[in-house]
Structure formats: C-alpha cells, structure tokens
C-alpha cells in the first residue's frame, strides 16, 4: 500500500509542477489585461487541466497505480477542494514557491487518492478522510474572515 501511495504522490507532484508551468505560460501567452479575455484564458486553463487529468490516468497506470482513472478523478476532486481552500491563503511573490506549492498539493492529493481507492481501506477511514478534506473549506473561510474581517 505504501509503495502505491508513494508512486501516486510522485506522479501527481510531477504533473502538478507541469500543470503550473503550462498554465503560467498559457496565461502569459494570452496576455489578459481586461475582463474581455477572461473567458478564453480560463478556457485554456480548463483544457490544460483536462489534458493533464487524462495524462494522469495514463501515468498512474504506467507506474502500477490502478485503477488510474479512479485515482486521477479522486485526486482531481481533492485538488478542487485544495484550490478553494487555498483562496484564503496569502499569495507570495516567488514563482518558485508557487511551483513548489503546486507540486506539493498535487502530491498530497495523489497520495490521498491512492490511499482511499486502495481495496483494503475501510469505509470508515474513507469517510473520515473525505470529511477531513471537505472540512478544509469552512476552516479556510473562517481563516479568511478572521484575517480580513467581516
């Protein structure tokens, strides 16, 4: 079980850094300076994300993390929660820090996804992990409200 989780974390970390780099390049290429280009720019980010999700399925299968589709979809769900919760965090000026955070977030999401999709994991453990991940949202909201006021 540990090897499977580690392999999933490594694959997802690499994909996270790749996602960050491609989104950064695409966003710079669009050169969005006003609201008119927001829809195409976000569309490009969505397309990049979907292509990398499909690539994650293939990459996870190649490193014997099966079923790759279920692990990749679970990791994507965790990443959505992480992204929403991350809105409450302050931004940092270093783009290398952004790349490291993207890699770490993808790695944790991949590891959690590989763990909860493992055959021997009990329903109680899966539910506890799902509750903990979803609980990040109200905690992040409370942190944002505390920092910025009501």
What is the spatial distance between Cα 53 and Cα 36, in angstroms, rounded to a whole number? 27
Within the chain, residue ranges assigned H as helices are: 2-30, 38-62, 68-86, 95-116, 123-148
Task: Select the more confidently predicted residue: 33 or 24.
Answer: 24
Structure tokens at 112: 């959690």
Q: What is the pLDDT of residues 43-100, one digit of tens each?
A: 888 999 999 999 999 999 999 998 999 999 999 999 999 988 887 777 666 788 889 9
Q: What's the pLDDT score for residue 92?
A: 64
Residue 62 contacts residue 116 (beta carbons within 8 Å): no
Q: What pTM, to 2 d.p., does this model score?
A: 0.88
Q: What's the pLDDT score for residue 96?
A: 85
What is the spatial distance between Cα 84 and Cα 71, in angstroms, rounded to a whole number? 20
Task: Select the more confidently predicted residue: 27 or 128.
Answer: 128
Q: What is the pLDDT of residues 102-150, one digit of tens each?
A: 999 999 999 999 999 999 999 999 999 999 999 999 998 888 888 777 6
């Amino acid at each position: 079980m540990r090897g499977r989780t580690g392999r999933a974390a490594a694959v997802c970390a690499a994909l996270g850094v790749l996602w960050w780099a491609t989104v950064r390049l695409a966003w710079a290429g669009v050169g969005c300076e006003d609201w008119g280009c927001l829809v195409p720019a976000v569309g490009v980010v969505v397309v990049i994300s979907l292509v990398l999700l499909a690539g994650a399925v293939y990459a996870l299968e190649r490193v014997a993390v099966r079923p790759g589709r279920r692990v990749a979809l679970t990791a994507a769900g965790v990443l959505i929660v992480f992204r929403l919760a991350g809105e409450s965090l302050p931004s940092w000026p270093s783009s290398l820090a952004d790349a490291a955070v993207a890699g770490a977030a993808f790695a944790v999401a991949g590891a959690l996804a590989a763990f909860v999709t493992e055959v021997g994991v009990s329903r109680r453990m899966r539910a506890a992990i799902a509750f903990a991940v979803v609980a990040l949202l109200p905690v992040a909201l409370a942190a944002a409200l505390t920092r910025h006021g009501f």
